A and B are shown apart, each in its own frame.
Chain A
Amino acid sequence: MVDAKKFLDEIEILLDQLYDSQKDNLEATAQAMKECIEQDGVVHVFGSGHSVGLGIDIKNRLGAMVPIHIMEMSDFVTKGGVPAAEFMDKKNIFERKPNVAGKLYNLYNIKPQDIFIVISNSGINGVVIDIASLAKEHGHKVIIITSMKHTLAEEPRHPSGKKLYEYGDIVIDNCGPHGDALIETSGVAKVCSVSSICNNCIAQSMAARTIELLQADGFELPVLNGDEAHDKALKKKYEGRA
């Protein structure tokens, strides 16, 4: 029987597995974020497709840290000179292309102390792999969020033969199944994907822990608190970077 209750039961089990198996990686990431922010750094977050949701979930809202920068795929067009028609071509999918990510990477004001979080469920597409590779080449710490079950089940698409997780200083497995859909059906395809839900929980729990660590160090928190003057000044401090 496929219904809402079935999904609720299965997602709760999966979230427990996620926490239990990944808590050390989440802690290590929160430590890395804390160190980066204390050195006046910015955390650059990049995910293509639905993976962009992780960054969005912890940005621009009450209780959110300001020194988090979302690298947007659409910046290829709005800032990087890629024609909209090429970017939006549904038969020649842009996120799969190798050797184009430099156009995006070079748009941003990236400083040596910055770190990168790169997210892709499959971890096989060109743009995400090239962003992780570029960040690594430039000496930045790279944190990967991926589905290990999915990425290990698929052939690489990148000319290097590598997958995204191979670039991670820290790798967080979102514990999602191959193909992202969780619930078995009577048909061929499974239904109800989980990566956005797991990634949101990863992002929210990691962000909360980072704030806790910053607070323990007595660092002035770069967190939106709803006070207009405070939030405006904070955004001003990171203007052009986050």
Chain B
Amino acid sequence: MDTKRKYFDLIKARLEKAYETQNDKMKVIASMFGECMENLGVVQLFGVKHGEEFVNELNYRAGGIAPYHALRLKDLILKEMIKQEDVDSGEIYNDITVMDKFEEFYKLDNRDMYCLVSYYGTEPLIIEIAKRAKARGQKIVAVVNKAAYDKVGGTLLDYADIWLDMCAEDPDIAMEIGGVKVGQLSSTTTNVIAQMLTAEVYSYYVSHGKEAPVLLSANVKGADVHNNSLTDPYEGRVR
């Protein structure tokens, strides 16, 4: 079979598995997000390494819901609060003081909740974010690759109210070509999980008789005015 076709078939099968195994939990999480947002809270997103792809899929996204905010290492790099090389080497994920910098740089609020994404669920920084949120009584959703999490003895789920599985194997390898391991499925699967969550959060708003704050692509006519009308009331807490 054509290798490209094979990838598309593999990902479709994985997406079906993700739906079947995660759908019930996604509905619960959508209600948690919806309740948080109705009370003017923001869902704070943080992802380790490729976990950031999931974050990008929810934060300030076309056809997405507005009240999300991402904790981004990139913002701290641009503000010269951390170094690019520590991010590149992965060392930054061992530094729990990065959360102090996030707290200094962003407008975090006690009404917020957290959605934390890590393949292994072990990195000290993401555990620190979870610990602090927990201590403030804020809700936490975790997204991990359970197969990898169990293997390495992750601890992120100890702090989570509920969690989703990336539904990948460990190692996350899509296929072998002549004995060489090639490609991944987990990021695309989690992107789809993120969009399924968006559908469910939208549905939460509708079922509560409310209009969902849906963002438009910034690259369609009139989008800036519409999107700013959804985000401006948060005075810098979202986007």
Residues in A lying within 8 Å of B, measured CB to CB:
1-8, 11-12, 15-16, 18-19, 23, 26-27, 30, 49-50, 53, 56-58, 60-63, 74, 77-78, 84, 87-88, 90, 93, 121-122, 124-125, 150, 153-155, 178-183, 185-187, 189-197, 200-201, 204-209, 211-212, 215, 221, 223, 225-226
Contact = CB atoms under 8 A, between A and B. Distances in A.
Nearest to B119: A61
Given A19-B8, A205-B4, A4 B26 contact: yes
Contacts of B63: 179-183, 189-193
B4 A179 contact: no
Contacts of B132: none
A207 B77 contact: no
Contacts of A74: 74, 77-78
Contact of A122 (B61, B183, B197, B217): B217
B217 A180 contact: yes
A127 to B, nearest CB: 13
B7 A191 contact: no
B28 interface: no
B216 interface: yes
A8 B183 contact: no
A8 B174 contact: no
Nearest to A9: B19
A5 B18 CA distance: 11
Contact of B3 (A4, A84, A205): A205
Contacts, number: 217
B211 A187 contact: yes
Contacts of B217: 121-122, 150, 179-181, 193
B203 interface: yes
Interface in B1-17: 2-8, 11-12, 15-16
B199 A154 contact: no
Contact of A208 (B53, B61, B175, B239): B175
A209 B4 contact: yes
B65 to A, nearest CB: 8
Contact of B188 (A2, A200, A211): A200
B12 A191 contact: no
Given A23-B4, A74-B78, A180-B62, A197 B199 contact: no
A193 B4 contact: no
Contacts of B49: 60
B181 to A, nearest CB: 5
Interface string B217-239: 11111000000000000000001
Contacts of A1: 203
Question: Looking at B27, B62, B74, B212, which has the most chain A CB atoms within 10 Å of its CB?
Answer: B62
